[in-house]
Chain A
Amino acid sequence: MNTPSATAGHAATPAWKEWLFTTDHKRIGVLYLVGSMAAFGVAGLMALIIRLEQMNVGMQYITSGTQYNGFLYFHGAAMILAFLIPGLTGFAANYFLPLMIGARDVAFPRINAFSVWLFYFAIVLALLSFVIPDAPDIMWTGYPPYSITTAGNTSFYVFTVHLLGFSSILGAVNFLVTVIYMRAPGMGWNQLNMFTWTTVAAFVLQLIFIPVLAAAVTLLLFDKYLGTHFYDPSAGGDVLLYQNLFWFYSHPAVYVIFLPAVGILFEILSTMGKNAVFNYKAAVYGGIWGIVGIAGIVWIHHLYVTGMPDWLRLGHMVTTLLISVPVGILTLSMWGTLWKAAITYNTAMMYAVSCLYLILLGGLTGIPLALPSLTLHLSETSYVHAHFHFIMALFSAFALFGGIYYWFPKMTGRYADGAVATLSFWCNFIGVNVTFWPLFIIGVEGMPRRYWDYQMFPQFESYHHIATYGAFIVGFGMLLQFGNFIYSAVAGKKAPLNPWNSQSLEWTHTQSPPGPGNFIDDVVVDENWSPYNYSK
């Protein structure tokens, strides 16, 4: 993605140097986009291998269980830590948050550049784990004692988490300072874009909870390589301490992914529906901040079958069920934004509509998992696997792809819409349903997760066949999608500056793509301005 107006002032500097040493938030955003999409591509290939292996009972394509476990590890870790989080809080926040609040850059541009290169180092480290003989096989959760006793190289996992965590903490501080101090004069808190609010909330969660994850994996490293016994019960350690620390971060991490995706969804729904966000203050203060408030007290629902004390399991059952209140308020705002709207359908809006389906399906299938008594059977089955793919992975990925179509004219000056985009959307949407519905059904019957063989359930083979076909439909759709992105960036149909007639600052006040410093004149807004003010 070339940004000609940005390079105009520095004609003497070669392009590679411009990108390598850039401190411009838009270029850093593009770097995050490229890195996260590369991670998505590799981790997606892993998913196809996993699905192929599960098609039939017995060993099909892999040469050992350890090799399969390595693929599972990489798929999970890369999709969450290197695709979803950097794609949403790296790419989308970097590129669009400063534009939305009328800022010329982030508060600390050099720290921002440092963050993105830490992210790239982490990706390199993760990819290196493929070429070492003792690849990590500890799943993205890395539970001890297995992660300590395994021959796999746990340190690659630990250092990858360290680098990404450091990168995220720096990013969080940077963006919180930016939003607090660098909003356009006149822009009050109740005039922020929904995407700005959700991103702020995600960064607050990162700032609070990442240190806990960093501590958890550091102790893992000490236990494995320095001979300490933090997680070793035979020497007085606690085998469940790690799981508590890990999920104390990793449940909020679900919202770090979920919330910015919700923000993108609101931007698309409001712009394409030419309607204000329904009950904005309730969505912000009740929905978004309600989720932040409850995020840190529900993690035991990941430990329902670990023999935790009964009072703890039942207490977290209640808090987990109460997540439905802030999420319900957000959902009502999404639905309300459609009321008496004037909806224009395009690829971005199709992704947004599919997200409404995904949040409904993924959210509701979480209700049984909030109950410890039902989870006693459902835990670690492919029901859980299908549930979190729908609510976290697919919802967030579809919102991110919708966001890319939505902002494509801003980043490149060209549309990415067209017949190929529509075809790839339908492949992706139909494909994910064909993949994950069979897994719901056999999961309730007991099909376990993380199995490469399932001799006890040979009758499930046909379901695994269907799921695998679905995965390849998605694979085909994604190939079309990326081809379309690359083609459209170079030769797509030219778009006007504000093709969707949005009211948001990134559309009304900037070039496509925005030049250095973003805005020609300083942006000033009055108290009647709103990014969603369509019916004035």
Chain B
Amino acid sequence: MRLLTATLTMAATVLLATQASAEGALANPPESWEHLWAEVMIDLYVIGGIFGAAAIYMLFKFKAKSPDQVGTAKPLSAVQAISWVLIPAAIFMADDFFLAANGWTVWNEYRRVPENAMEVKVTGYQWYWEFEYEDGTVTEDLVVPVGQPVVLRMTSEDVIHDFGLPYYRVKEDVMPGRITYIWINPAEANESFVQCAEYCGADHSNMWTSVRAVPQEEFDAWLSASADDPTFDIGEWRTSWTEQQTSQGIASR
């Protein structure tokens, strides 16, 4: 329901919002995702509304009044028949290219990594994640500083996994023998998670861990502490996450 309300409120301002985000200093892919989604939803509501209303009208209006009655639609002339192809095709294609152009813009935001991005290497295993920071520290959860773009260079040591970050509205497959990337720009301190989004076997459902965005000082302290002694307890974190989410209802973003 939250989604529906959000979609409807955004519907009114979507065009302005898209323009505004283009002027912003640093691209914000999750925000652009929400705008594009709202824009596509308007498209769906309009097309669905027109076709749905037409179908309901005709299904009631043209009920047979007697069993012998036949339809009275006249055959189309050649001009009508061709027009019924070319005009709708032109409208559909105009809509397609409009969506494609907007989708392309957002795509570029997702793929262009800011130059000052901090790099973290990600490796997927059946069934856990491993993170390696620039200083060589290896951890099993992801902690990033707020306000610092982070690029994740990802590969797998066994089968195909997928590094899915629902909070940041992004995911990409993690494959043996290939390196893929995504980038995120945590705007505020928060706790979310990464989940495996490509089927990888028995414990696919349990291949998830925490992603925390913390202030820079806290991050620095955490990184040096992790280098000496990784104290993070994933089991404990998962339990507290589950309790917290259950008490909060559906909102995840």
Contact = CB atoms under 8 A, between A and B. Distances in A.
A113 B159 CA distance: 41
A145 interface: yes
A48 interface: no
Contacts of A51: none
A64 B202 contact: yes
A139 B205 CA distance: 15
A245 to B, nearest CB: 15
A155 interface: no
B84 A332 contact: yes
B72 A340 contact: yes
A44 interface: no
B25 interface: no
Interface in A205-231: none
Contacts of A307: 172-173, 175, 178, 180
A480 to B, nearest CB: 25
Given A373-B110, A456-B241, A282 B81 contact: yes
A146 B55 contact: no
B28 to A, nearest CB: 13
A146 B169 contact: no
A372 B104 CA distance: 8
A372 B107 contact: yes
Interface size class of B (residues with CB under 8 A): 35 or more
Contact of B92 (A143, A328, A364): A328
A278 B75 CA distance: 8
A501 to B, nearest CB: 8
A274 B69 contact: yes
B224 to A, nearest CB: 29
A317 B108 CA distance: 14
A376 B169 contact: yes
A56 to B, nearest CB: 12
Contacts of A501: 67
B172 A341 contact: no
Interface stretch (B131-139, B225-233, B244-252): B244-252
A345 interface: yes
B85 to A, nearest CB: 5
Contacts of B58: 335, 338-339, 341
Interface in B56-89: 58-59, 62-65, 67, 69-73, 75-76, 81, 84-85, 88-89
A373 B71 contact: no
Given A146-B200, A373-B36, A335 B205 contact: no
A447 to B, nearest CB: 8
A334 to B, nearest CB: 9
Contacts of B245: 456-459
B125 interface: no
A307 B166 CA distance: 18
Interface in A330-360: 331-332, 335-336, 338-345, 353, 356-357, 360
A234 B206 CA distance: 27
Contacts of A137: 201-202
A450 B199 contact: yes
Nearest to B62: A341
B250 A276 contact: no
B73 A276 contact: yes
A406 interface: no
Nearest to B1: A441
A353 to B, nearest CB: 6
A452 interface: yes
Given A274-B70, A332-B84, A340-B71, A314 B104 contact: yes
Interface string A364-384: 110110111110110111000
Given A57-B242, A338-B55, A367 B44 contact: yes
B252 to A, nearest CB: 5
Interface stretch (A91-99, A188-196, A319-327, A428-436): A319-327
A380 to B, nearest CB: 4
Contacts of B186: none
Given A64-B202, A234-B177, A328-B92, A361 B70 contact: no
Given A239-B177, A324-B96, A448-B195, A275 B51 contact: no
Contacts of B222: none
Contacts of B10: none
B128 interface: no
Contacts of A381: 197
Interface in A1-17: none
Nearest to B3: A444
A239 B158 CA distance: 11
B85 A65 contact: no
Contacts of B85: 279, 282, 286, 329
B170 interface: yes
A57 B243 CA distance: 12
Contact of A459 (B95, B99, B196, B249): B249
Given A373-B103, A534-B70, A445 B250 contact: yes
Interface size class of A (residues with CB under 8 A): 35 or more
Interface string A53-87: 00001000000111001000000000000000000
Interface in A436-460: 441-442, 444-446, 448, 450-460
A201 B177 CA distance: 39
B242 A535 contact: no
B73 A380 contact: no
A150 interface: yes
B188 to A, nearest CB: 19
Contacts of B33: 373-374, 376-377
B208 A368 contact: no
Contact of A321 (B96, B164, B252): B96
A275 B175 contact: no
Contact of A535 (B71, B196, B200, B241): B71
B199 A143 contact: yes
B114 to A, nearest CB: 17
B113 to A, nearest CB: 13
Contacts of A446: 164, 166-167, 195, 252
Given A450-B199, A454-B205, A367 B103 contact: no
Q: Top 7 A-B pairs ranked by shortest CB distance?
A: A233-B177, A446-B166, A275-B71, A371-B103, A65-B202, A307-B180, A373-B106
29 contacts: A146-B199, A233-B175, A276-B75, A279-B76, A305-B171, A305-B172, A306-B175, A321-B97, A325-B92, A329-B85, A332-B88, A336-B84, A341-B62, A361-B48, A368-B37, A371-B36, A371-B40, A373-B33, A373-B36, A373-B103, A373-B106, A376-B33, A379-B162, A379-B197, A444-B3, A445-B253, A451-B204, A452-B205, A453-B206
Interface of B: 1, 3, 32-33, 36-37, 40, 43-44, 47-48, 51-52, 54-55, 58-59, 62-65, 67, 69-73, 75-76, 81, 84-85, 88-89, 92-93, 95-97, 99-100, 103-104, 106-107, 109-111, 158-160, 162, 164, 166-167, 169-173, 175-178, 180, 193, 195-206, 208, 238, 241-242, 245-246, 248-253
Given A273-B62, A321-B97, A458-B242, 6 more contacts: A65-B204, A275-B71, A325-B92, A343-B62, A345-B63, A367-B40
